Amino acid sequence: MRGFAGLTLRAVAAELGATTGLLTHYFSTKQALVEHGLDLLEQRVLLGPRRHSGQGPAALGDALPDILPLNPEAVDGNRIRVCSRDAALSAPGLSADYARKYAQGPTG
């Protein structure tokens, strides 16, 4: 795929080895697919392990490995979040979803 703009239901279906019809049975629009993917990514972040050692510099030191993209999965998640934020500027549903997530707390 060619970035977030190149994401289409057809391209996702091809990547999965499925038909577009099968994919649209679950996600009627690209935005619905993206929202679901972002929700899964948020759940993965929220349910991930966290280190807590107090406050101040120690807490910052513990938090950095949890939020920095230090492995391939985290790098992919970071790319998805960055690209989707750009897309959210022109998609009211995604924009509202980001506002809700930021109001709940620091998830990325």
CB 50 within 8 A of CB 66: yes
Burial 64-91 (b: 16+ CB within 10 A, else e): eeeeeeeeeebeebeebbeebeebbeeb
* CB neighbour class for 45 (10 Å; exposed up to 12, middle 13-18, buried from 19): middle
**Identity of the residue numbered 61:** G
In this structure, what is the dihedral angle of CA atoms 18, 21, 23, 27, given to the nearest 10 degrees? 170
Q: What global pTM score does this model have?
A: 0.65
pLDDT digits (tens, 9 = 90+) for 43-101: 877 777 666 767 888 788 777 777 777 888 888 887 777 777 777 777 777 777 777 76
Annotated domain spans of the chain: 30-104
Task: Considering only residues 13 and 30, tell me which one the structure prediction assigns the higher pLDDT.
Answer: 13
